[in-house]
């Protein structure tokens, strides 16, 4: 079975990281539309409801060490897919909320833990697949936040107007589940030892191909040299049937001397 190399899937990983960061930004930067509806529905203070908006953003940075531990133990794919399931579950449970404390747990803490797991994994995997063009790759990934801030708040407001905030939470749960699909695209990057072995195998293949080319060229060159030398020998070889006009055999010369 042929092993897939990093260069074969790095662009798919980049696209998955872009979409994954877009989904994370849609749950952290665009949640303000729901905060207004929560205040109006439950009649709670703005300071209490603001905790729902601050927890996911805070957990994106606080969850970094936990995410890296999970990546080291279970891999990038499992970590991001787990984050997608938790995020989708948090938004779905929020549609059945009966008070603001329930929303702080479901829409704030649970989704925040999911975003914290996914954020560090999505960013750190880019460094493995793009060691040379990391600046361009990171720029493409972070551009997902701008797309999310531009697109999702009007979309969320439309969903709330049509389906209410409970129905909108269910639809956002379906959106967040796509983070699981982004994690399914990931392949574990090779360890430094595996990457060194892969590079050595590639170098050996190149050397063998160059050696084969050199052997083939040497055979052709030898054949051409042999052909040229044979032609030269045939051209330079004197014809025994043609004799010069002043040619006298040695025997005749000897006999003349003896006569003298």
Confidence of residue 112 (pLDDT cuts 50, 70, 90): very high
According to the model, what pLDDT value does residue 93 have? 94
Give the range among 74-83, 97-106, 244-253 with minimum mean pLDDT. Answer: 244-253
Give the range among 70-74, 193-197, 208-212 with minimum mean pLDDT. Answer: 193-197
Confidence of residue 219 (pLDDT cuts 50, 70, 90): very low
User: What's the number of CA atoms in the CB half-sphere (13 Å) around residue 174?
Assistant: 7
CA–CA gap between residue 226 and residue 248 (Å, rounded): 36
According to the model, what pLDDT value does residue 87 have? 94
Position with higher pLDDT, 200 vs 88:
88
Residue 177 pLDDT > 60, yes or no? yes
Residue 195 in tokens: 């990457």
The mean pLDDT of the chain is: 79
Q: Map the chain to HEC letters.
A: CCCCCHHHHHHHHHHHHHHHHHHHHHHHCCCHHHHHHHHHHHCCCHHHHHHHHHHHHHHHHHCHHHHHHHHHHHCHHHHHHHHHHHHHHHHHHHCCCCCHHHHHHHHHHHHHHHHHHHHHHHHHHHHHHCCCCHHHHHHHHHHHHHHHHHHHHHHHHHHHHHHHHHHHHHHHHHHHHHHHHHHHHCCCCCCHHHHHHHHHHHHHHHHHHHHHHHHHHHHHHHHHHHHHHHHHHHHHCCCCCCCCCCCCCHHHHHHHHHHC
CA–CA gap between residue 49 and residue 35 (Å, rounded): 6
According to the model, what pLDDT value does residue 2 have? 45
- In the numeric block, the tokens 């008070």 are attached to 99
128: Cβ contacts below 8 Å, ≥ 6 apart = 6, 189
For 237, phi then psi, to 5°, come to -70, 125
According to the model, what pLDDT value does residue 150 have? 92
User: In the chain, pLDDT over 70 holds for what percent of residues?
Assistant: 70
What would the pLDDT profile of 19-48 be if each residue is shown by its tens digit?
Answer: 999 999 998 888 888 988 898 898 888 888
CA-based nearest residue to 82, from 93, 70, 65: 70
Residue 233 pLDDT > 50, yes or no? no
Residue 1 pLDDT > 80, yes or no? no
CA–CA gap between residue 245 and residue 216 (Å, rounded): 50
């Amino acid at each position: 079975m042929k092993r897939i190399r990093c260069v074969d899937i790095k662009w798919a990983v980049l696209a998955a990281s872009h979409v994954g960061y877009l989904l994370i930004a849609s749950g952290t930067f665009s949640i303000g539309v729901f905060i207004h509806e929560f205040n109006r529905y439950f009649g709670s203070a703005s300071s209490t409801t603001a905790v729902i908006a601050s927890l996911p953003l805070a957990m994106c940075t606080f969850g970094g060490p936990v995410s890296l531990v999970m990546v080291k133990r279970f891999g990038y794919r499992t970590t991001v897919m787990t984050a997608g399931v938790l995020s989708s579950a948090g938004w779905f449970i929020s549609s059945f909320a009966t008070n603001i404390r329930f929303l702080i747990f479901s829409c704030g803490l649970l989704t925040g833990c999911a975003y914290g797991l996914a954020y560090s994994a999505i960013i750190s995997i880019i460094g493995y697949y793009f060691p040379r063009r990391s600046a361009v790759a990171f720029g493409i990934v972070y551009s997902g936040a701008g797309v999310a801030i531009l697109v999702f708040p009007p979309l969320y407001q439309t969903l709330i107007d049509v389906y209410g905030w409970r129905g909108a939470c269910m639809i956002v749960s379906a959106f967040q589940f796509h983070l699981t699909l982004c994690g399914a695209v990931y392949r574990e990057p090779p360890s430094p030892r595996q990457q060194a072995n892969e590079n050595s195998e590639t170098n050996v293949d190149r050397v063998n191909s160059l050696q084969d080319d050199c052997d083939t060229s040497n055979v052709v060159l030898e054949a051409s040299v042999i052909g040229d030398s044979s032609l030269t020998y045939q051209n330079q070889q004197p014809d025994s049937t043609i004799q010069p006009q002043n040619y006298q055999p040695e025997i005749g010369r000897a006999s003349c001397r003896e006569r003298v």
